[in-house]
Amino acid sequence: MQADTTDSVRLAQVQGSLLTARRSMARWRRLFDDARMLPVLLIMPVLIFFLVWNVIPTLWMIGLSFYKYQITMPNTFAFVGLENYVDIFSDRSVWNGLSRTFIWVFVGVAVQTLLGMILGFLFWGSRDMPGRRIGLTLLFTPMIVTPVAAGLFFRLIYEPTFGIVNWFTKSVFGAEIQFLQDTSIAFWSVLLVDIWMWTPFMILMTLAALGSVPKAELEAAEIDRLNWFDRLRYIILPHGKFILMLGILLRTIDSFKTLDLVYLMAVPGNTTKLIATVLREQAFEALEVGWSSSLAIILLLTAIAFTSIYLYILNLNSRAREKVS
C-alpha cells in the first residue's frame, strides 16, 4: 500500500514534468508554425554565420585598408586614406602578379577546355568500353587529389636527378631538363600540373553537356546523314552550350584563385608568383595588414564582378528553359 502511493506520487511527478516538457515543446512548435516567424527562424543560423564570419571581418578589413598598419611595428599605425590603394596601383609586384595570373588563367583554361572537349567527345562514344566506370573514376582522380599532394608529387616527378620524367628525357634525348629550377620554364612546368589536374573537369563538363542533348534530335541527324561538323554546330552546341560555358567560367574563377599549388611547388625566384601569392606574402610574411587589406578588397570586387557574370549566365539558362516549357 505504502509503496503504491509513493509510486503513484512519482508517476504523477513524472507525468507533470512530461507535461511541462510537452508544453515548452508545443510553445517552440507554435513559434515554428507561426507563418511570420518561421522563415526568420530558418534563415537565422545562416545569417549568424554570415554575419560573424563574413560581414564583420570584411567591414573590419575595409576599415583597415585605409590605415597604415604593420603588425610588428604597431607605432606606425596611422590613417592614410587611399594611400594603400594608390600604392597598389603603382606597385610592380602587383602588376607582375596580375599579368602572370592573366597568362596563367588564359593559357590554362584554353588548353583545358580544348583538350577536355576533344577527350570528352572521345569518351562520349564509349558506352560499351570495358571497365568504363573504373576508367572514369581513375580519369577524375587528378581533380580530387589535393593541390598540396599534387604539388609535392610533381616535385618528385620533375626532380632532375631522381625524377622519372628526367630519367626518360635523359635516356631518350640525352638531355636533363631543370623543370622547376630553370626560371624560363618553371612557370610552364607548374601550369602543366594545373592542366593535368583540371582537364578531367572539362572532360566531365563536356560529357554532361553531351548528355543534355536530346536523343531524338541526334537520331534525326543520324537519319538525315548530317556530317559531324553540322551535327556539332546545329544540334550539340545549341543544347550543350550552357554547360560548357559554365565549365569554362568555373575554371576561370578557380584558376584566378590558384595558390596552394604554386606555394607547394616552391619554385625559386619570382617567375611563378601569382596575385594570390603576392597577397599571401604581404599579409602573412611581411604582415602588412593595411596594404594587404586593400589588395584583398580589390580582389573581392573582382570576384563579385565574376559572380555577376556567372549569375547572368545562370539566369540566361533558366529563361531559356522557361521559353521551352
Judged by CB under 8 A, the chain residues 208 through 227 that form the site for other proteins are 208-209, 211-212
**Least separation, in Å, of the C-beta of 311 and other proteins?**
6
Answer for which of 247, 248, 267, 272 binds other proteins (CB under 8 A) is 247
**Least separation, in Å, of the C-beta of 14 and other proteins?**
25
**Least separation, in Å, of the C-beta of 194 and other proteins?**
13
**Based on CB atoms, which residue is closest to other proteins, 12 or 220?**
220
Answer for which of 42, 78, 232, 237 binds other proteins (CB under 8 A) is 42
H/E segment holding residue 91: none
Interface characters, 267-296, with other proteins (x: CB under 8 A)? --------xx--xx--xx----x--xx-xx
Helices of type H across 54-146:
56-64, 83-89, 92-124, 132-144
Is position 264 an interface residue for other proteins (rule: CB under 8 A)? yes
Q: Tell me how many residues contact other proteins (CB under 8 A).
A: 101
Q: What is the DSSP letter of 127?
A: T
**Least separation, in Å, of the C-beta of 99 and other proteins?**
16
Contact between 210 and 121 under an 8 Å Cβ cutoff? The reply is: yes
Interface characters, 17-36, with other proteins (x: CB under 8 A)? ------------x--xx---
Q: For every residue of 50-81, which 3-state class applies, written as one string?
A: HHHHHHHHHHHHHHHCCEEEECCEEEEEEECC
HSE toward the beta carbon, residue 219, CA cutoff 13 A: 3
Question: Nearest Cα to 70, choosing from 311, 282, 316?
Answer: 282
Cell output for 220? 534525326
Stretch that binds other proteins, among 74-82, 172-180, 230-238, 311-319 (CB under 8 A): 311-319
287: alpha, beta or left, given left = phi > 0 and alpha = psi -120 to 50? left
Torsion angle, CA of 266/268/273/279, rounded to 10 degrees? 70
Within residues 127-166, the interface with other proteins by CB under 8 A covers 129-131, 133-142, 144-150, 152-157, 161-162, 164
Within residues 66-125, the interface with other proteins by CB under 8 A covers 119, 122-123, 125
Separation of first and last alpha carbons in the chain: 76
Radius of gyration for the alpha carbons in the chain, expressed in angstroms and rounded: 29
**What is the rounded CA–CA span in Å between residue 2 and residue 6?**
7
Is position 38 an interface residue for other proteins (rule: CB under 8 A)? yes
**Based on CB atoms, which residue is closest to other proteins, 119 or 235?**
119
**Based on CB atoms, which residue is closest to other proteins, 189 or 293?**
293
Is position 299 an interface residue for other proteins (rule: CB under 8 A)? yes
Is position 304 an interface residue for other proteins (rule: CB under 8 A)? yes
**Of all residues in the chain, what percent are helix, strand and coil, respectively (each to 5)?**
75, 5, 20
Is position 195 an interface residue for other proteins (rule: CB under 8 A)? no
